[in-house]
A and B are shown apart, each in its own frame.
Chain A
Amino acid sequence: MSLLSVENLNVTFPGTAAVQGLSFSVEAGQCVAIVGESGSGKSVTARALVGLAGDNAAVSAQRLHLDGKDLLHLSPGQWRGIRGRHIGFVLQDALVSLDPLKTIGSEIAEALTEHADMPRQDVRRKVLDLLTSVGIPNPEERIGQFAHQLSGGLRQRALIASAIAANPALLIADEPTTALDVIVQAQILALLREMKAKGTGIILISHDLAVVASLADHIVVLKDGAVVEAGPPSQVLSRPQAAYTRALLAAIPSVETKGQRLTFGSGTPDVPAARPLQDGGTAVEARSVTKSLGERLVVDKVDVRLVAGETLGLVGASGSGKTTLARLLLALQQPDQGEVLLDGGPWSHLSEKQRRPHRPRLQLVSQDPLGSFDPRYRVIDILAEALEIIGLPKREWTRRATELIRSVGLSDSHLLRRPRQLSGGQRQRVAIARALAMKPDILICDEPVSALDVSTQAQVLDLLEDLKRQFGLTILFISHDLGVVHHVSDRVMVMHAGRIVEEGPVGEVFARPRDAYTRELLAALPRIPLSSIASKAKGYPHDHILDSSVHIGA
């Protein structure tokens, strides 16, 4: 008998069906992964399984059994007996998933005492045991601390400890590693694997096939609330049947996709290079720049040389100083020491007034395009503002704006929308269109695809590649995602704690990392069996090569 069996689960909200006809079962000591992009219904499923889909959700199923017990017709009180006691639940980002006003000790104790009367002394001892079992050092000290006093990794461990406190047979983990750096992510996945080995059944919810690959015994791919493919990893990842799964796998940027298009079905287009690729000269250069914010040294004697015509990748964990470095290059902030040069001439040393005429040459595409648009403006106003600055006569604005919006793959009707009415991917295209309006030579892309779904990310990355060829752009591409950086870059720099720890041609750095931190970063990357990507890239039918594997972006 399965630990959990779900047959034909449906969740509907007024007017929309969030989940339709989902069936799967979880055995003790096994992991089922539910994978999908935003809006696929994966989180709704997770919440429905603990009776928390919401007041306005209608949940129905042919069968919903936990350990032989029917979950379909429980009263609120009976559900409370299931939650925590029989099903543990872990959310993403423990900073917001643990009550910031409570110590982690009391959070874990709450999960214990809710289901069993226990003397105070026993509770404390049990909490300490739990902290130890999820790998938190110095539990005596940590038990009295608050979530904000712990690092991201320790926090996530504490959250897991609170979920497994009452020793539930089933654990549901909803994007448990999404907010974490690659290295910490690998540690948390190892912890989940350990629990699986001890006999806990796990449902892993994720948008990321690569994360799932190492843990899942069974993978369910959801799209718009319906199952598009389900099966063991050997099938779903290596011999995907559904076009959507293939597109999803193909959209993941990696070593193998280099020079390829990520959007499914399209080959490398023959976009004519309107301007010849520049090369050789130095476009932007930072010489030993240092910057402190408050007491913290954020950028520490960094040298950057962005060669005209190249794409330079800058990779590092969050808080490593990447964004501050970008702001120094854009001369939005002044370095405490060192200097930034543009085309070999002064840049950071100029006054803002002297810089202004040269600003159009150096444009930014940021992670949060919405924040970069005046909320009162429509798309056409946003573009017109840029066109006015480069001195285009007013009568040309409409024509040029139409040209620009088409060149980023949107249609004329988008010109009259407000950014708030656009999707994340569309907004990023508008931001790129505005940057292009300035006819820049250099584009600084700061985590431009981090907030996007895999398939949208693929479209935006392809677009950037096309535009680079078409306009001969020089690009500095900043990301925490090694796969993305590998895909787009010619050269790569690895940043860690404010310093550049490694720099070189992208293939070389990824194949033979010299720095210890780079090695650790690469080793922590989740892997997908190679065959699926290889077969897609070369157009082979699904086959062989299951033994080798490659690094895939997180």
Chain B
Amino acid sequence: MHIARELLIRILAGAAVLWAAASLAFAILQLFPSDPVQVIYGADSSVTPELRAAIRADFGLDRPVWEQYQHFLARIVQGDLGTSYQQRRSVISIIGSELGSTLTLASLSVLLAIVMACLASLVTSGRRTWLRKALSSIELLSVSTPTFWIGILLLTFFSFKWQLFPVVADEGWRSLVLPVATLALAVFGSLSQVMREEMDLALEQPFILTARTRGLSEWAVRWRHALGHTLIPCITISTETFGGLLAGSIITEQVFGRPGLGRITLEAINNHDIPVVMGIVLLVAFVFVTLNIVADLLYRLADPRLRVSAA
């Protein structure tokens, strides 16, 4: 009962954020107006004033701002994100056709990064070994290296030099390996750092000593007791970076020439295709809001103390 009510509150709050994001984007576009005619016909001066007016009316740009805003919100609520200036297709269908590819890339990368970070902290936490030093150097590299450079390096050596993986993007799972590795490496650093710090802290807690005095092996202590305490920061960072990965995928897709949201975003930005940019802005905000709600639910699963105090 409590959970349901809280979930409802969270969803309403999320809707408010979405509304605010949409309004903000709308307001900013009023300050920096863009002209569909310019986008469609470029600098072609042969466009007659009549045609220009017709096109503008087509996109509803001839109406008063307030009316445009109402219309804009009404369409969003109905799930209609408008029509691309460039492609004359609905924004929903453009995004829809590319979303799958990007989501696959982002989810696989986050999963891989989580698994690697868990392993890294299980093995190296609370110890002063060469392995720990090596791993923390990798983490430092991971957070300090431009994502696209990791991609370029992987491409140069694994595809061109050693020809282990395909260069082109359409060879099934094999063409996913390098992009996923690129993004996962980028996420791994920050995830692993925080998780290990958290596990270091957990390993110093009295309850770990208690577990040891029961005769548990080192591995059992880490696996059964310490790992659970890294889950909260793990959830926070993974859900936060998952949103970031949508942006990160823009770069990765560019490096590996993959289809996906990245490519359409870049095209839309370069072409001032405002409805598409707007659609992607809303999509990113939607993903953020949804992930926040999911993270909240996951927190409760991970830590029983949050189940009571939040009620």
Provide the residues of chain A in CB contact with B212, threshold 8 Å: 52, 83
Q: Complex Cα distance A357/B306, Å?
A: 44
Check A100 against B215 for contact (C-beta < 8 Å): no
Provide the residues of chain B in CB contact with A96, threshold 8 Å: 205-207
Closest to B128 in A: A55
CB distance from B265 to the nearest CB of A (A): 40
Provide the residues of chain B in CB contact with A70, threshold 8 Å: none
Tell me whether A84 and B207 are in contact in the complex, defined as CB-CB below 8 angstroms, given that A99-B225, A100-B305, A110-B224 are known contacts.
Answer: no
Chain B contact surface mostly: helix
Check A91 against B304 for contact (C-beta < 8 Å): no
Cβ of A542 under 8 Å from chain B? no
Closest to B218 in A: A76
Cβ of B163 under 8 Å from chain A? no
Check B209 against A111 for contact (C-beta < 8 Å): no
CB distance from B308 to the nearest CB of A (A): 7
Cβ of B217 under 8 Å from chain A? yes
Tell me whether A100 and B207 are in contact in the complex, defined as CB-CB below 8 angstroms, given that A80-B217, A110-B216, A148-B308 are known contacts.
Answer: yes
Provide the residues of chain A in CB contact with B2, threshold 8 Å: none
Tell me whether A93 and B206 are in contact in the complex, defined as CB-CB below 8 angstroms, given that A80-B215, A80-B216 are known contacts.
Answer: yes
Q: Complex Cα distance A98/B304, Å?
A: 13
Provide the residues of chain A in CB contact with B209, threshold 8 Å: 47, 52, 89, 91, 97
Check A85 against B207 for contact (C-beta < 8 Å): no
CB distance from B121 to the nearest CB of A (A): 16
Check A99 against B215 for contact (C-beta < 8 Å): no
Provide the residues of chain B in CB contact with A98, threshold 8 Å: 207, 210
Check A148 against B305 for contact (C-beta < 8 Å): yes
Provide the residues of chain A in CB contact with B229, threshold 8 Å: 101
Provide the residues of chain B in CB contact with A80, threshold 8 Å: 215-217
Q: Complex Cα distance A100/B226, Å?
A: 11
Provide the residues of chain A in CB contact with B225, threshold 8 Å: 99, 101-102
Chain A contact surface mostly: mixed
Tell me whether A97 and B207 are in contact in the complex, defined as CB-CB below 8 angstroms, given that A114-B215, A114-B216 are known contacts.
Answer: yes
Q: Complex Cα distance A80/B229, Å?
A: 23
Check A97 against B210 for contact (C-beta < 8 Å): yes
Kindly state the interface size class of chain B when it binds its partner: 20 to 34
CB distance from B223 to the nearest CB of A (A): 12
CB distance from B43 to the nearest CB of A (A): 61
Provide the residues of chain A in CB contact with B146, threshold 8 Å: none
Provide the residues of chain B in CB contact with A89, threshold 8 Å: 209-210, 213
Cβ of B303 under 8 Å from chain A? yes
A345-359 near B? 1/0 per residue, CB < 8 Å: 000000000000000
Tell me whether A82 and B210 are in contact in the complex, defined as CB-CB below 8 angstroms, given that A100-B305, A146-B304, A148-B305 are known contacts.
Answer: no
Please provide the chain A residues from 89 to 134 with a CB less than 8 Å away from any CB of chain B in the complex: 89, 91-93, 96-102, 110-111, 114-115
Q: Complex Cα distance A404/B37, Å?
A: 80
Q: Complex Cα distance A321/B61, Å?
A: 64
Please provide the chain B residues from 191 to 216 with a CB less than 8 Å away from any CB of chain A in the complex: 205-207, 209-216
Check A99 against B207 for contact (C-beta < 8 Å): yes
Residue in contact with A88 in the complex, picked from B213, B216, B224, CB distance below 8 Å: B213
Residue of A50, A83, A88, A101 with most partner-chain B CB within 10 A: A101
Q: Complex Cα distance A136/B305, Å?
A: 21
Cβ of B96 under 8 Å from chain A? no
CB distance from B248 to the nearest CB of A (A): 31
Q: Complex Cα distance A430/B279, Å?
A: 62
Check A52 against B213 for contact (C-beta < 8 Å): yes
Cβ of B257 under 8 Å from chain A? no
Please provide the chain A residues from 54 to 84 with a CB less than 8 Å away from any CB of chain B in the complex: 76, 79-84
CB distance from B202 to the nearest CB of A (A): 9
Q: Complex Cα distance A453/B216, Å?
A: 34
Residue in contact with A101 in the complex, picked from B210, B214, B216, B303, CB distance below 8 Å: B303
CB distance from A551 to the nearest CB of B (A): 30
CB distance from A137 to the nearest CB of B (A): 20
Cβ of A159 under 8 Å from chain B? yes
Q: Complex Cα distance A79/B212, Å?
A: 10
Q: Complex Cα distance A149/B213, Å?
A: 24
Closest to B305 in A: A148
Cβ of B228 under 8 Å from chain A? yes
Tell me whether A83 and B215 are in contact in the complex, defined as CB-CB below 8 angstroms, given that A91-B210, A96-B205, A96-B207 are known contacts.
Answer: yes
Known contacts A82-B215, A93-B206, A162-B210; 17 further A-B pairs (Cβ under 8 A)? A76-B218, A83-B212, A84-B215, A85-B215, A87-B213, A89-B209, A96-B207, A99-B207, A99-B225, A99-B228, A100-B305, A101-B304, A110-B211, A110-B214, A114-B214, A159-B210, A166-B214
Q: Give the top 5 A-B pairs by smallest Cβ distance, nearest first.
A: A89-B213, A84-B215, A84-B214, A83-B215, A97-B206
Residue ranges of B at the interface with A (Cβ–Cβ < 8 Å) = 205-207, 209-218, 224-225, 228-229, 302-305, 308
- Can you list 27 residue pairs at the A/B interface with Cβ under 8 Å? A52-B209, A76-B218, A82-B215, A83-B213, A85-B215, A91-B206, A91-B210, A92-B206, A96-B206, A97-B206, A97-B209, A97-B210, A98-B210, A99-B211, A100-B207, A100-B304, A100-B305, A101-B228, A101-B229, A101-B303, A101-B304, A110-B214, A114-B216, A146-B304, A148-B304, A148-B305, A148-B308
